[in-house]
Amino acid sequence: MGPVIFTYRSAHMSYFHPADRAGHPMEEKILEVFRWSHIVSGFLALFVAPIAMAVRKGGDAHRLWGKVFFYAMACVAITAVVMGIWLNKMFLAMMAVLSFHMAASGYRSLYHKRLHAGQRPGTMDLVLQGTAGVVNGGLFIWGFVNIMLGNRGSATTLFIVFGLIGSLMVWRNLQRFYKHHHEKHEWLYAHMSGFLGGYIATVSAFSAVNMEFIKPVWLQWLWPSIIGIPIIYWWTRRYRKRLGRGKRVRDLVEVRIP
């Protein structure tokens, strides 16, 4: 997940390089531009997210660095999808969509502060969730088919785990849009979960590329999720408890209604 600067080959990850598809020199130059745009955006996302986490939530600095993180993730996803389709590396493209869906869902939740008052999701939200649902479902099915065919390597584990995580996020977002009873501050929990999930994706990608000493291969990808998902649960539960005890959301974060 995250800045996917690699592709899946023979049960291990490696940097993508234009030499994977020898062709016209101009084509290789274009691919090199996409590759470096992808790498720079990925590292930018990796290092600015902790700044947004450390400063006052909802303040100007938080918004600034949060936007930098979001747009860096968008660049990561676009370049990965282009390279994945161009080079017929569909796993690369699908993982980029899965990764961006998390950050984008966290960003869009800021515009859903009135779901408890009857607000409905916009077309953009439904397109985002629908696209992610197809991609994440495809990853899960891909992994399940591999199991049925007797392929139980690291790739199969990653397809199933990431496909399942992504599908559950889509389901939770759709449930949040259409359930009958809403928590007033669920937009905040969705924002936290989405952006933290996007950052976990970024760390996962960095680990898969740079921490090849971690074995087995699937653990290179999944250790950030193993650690990060419980942290997300603990952090959102902490905010939910504080708000449930009578704290106002404005006491915890700076809030602006779009």
Whether 257 maps to a domain, the answer reads no
| Count of structural domains, the chain | 1
Token digits for 64? 């600034």
Provide the angle, in degrees to the nearest 10, between the axes of the packed helices 154-178 and 186-210: 170
Q: What percent of the chain has pLDDT over 70?
A: 90
pTM: 0.84
pLDDT tens-digit profile of 154-208? Answer: 888 889 999 999 999 999 999 999 988 888 889 999 999 999 999 998 898 888 8
Whether 237 maps to a domain, the answer reads yes
Bridge partners, residue 14, by sequence: 7
**19, 25, 33, 50, 226 from 29: Cα distances, Å:** 11, 6, 6, 33, 38
pLDDT tens-digit profile of 7-40? Answer: 333 333 344 555 555 466 778 888 889 989 999 9
Whether 243 maps to a domain, the answer reads yes
Whether 258 maps to a domain, the answer reads no
Q: What is the mean pLDDT of residues 40-68?
A: 92
Pick from 92, 91, 122: nearest CA to 107: 122
CA separation for the pair 28, 30 (Å, rounded): 5
How confident is residue 222, by pLDDT bands cut at 50, 70 and 90?
Answer: very high
Domain of residue 151 covers: 6-252
Bridge partners, residue 12, by sequence: 9
Q: Is 93 exposed, middle or buried (0-12, 13-18, 19+ CB in 10 A)?
A: buried
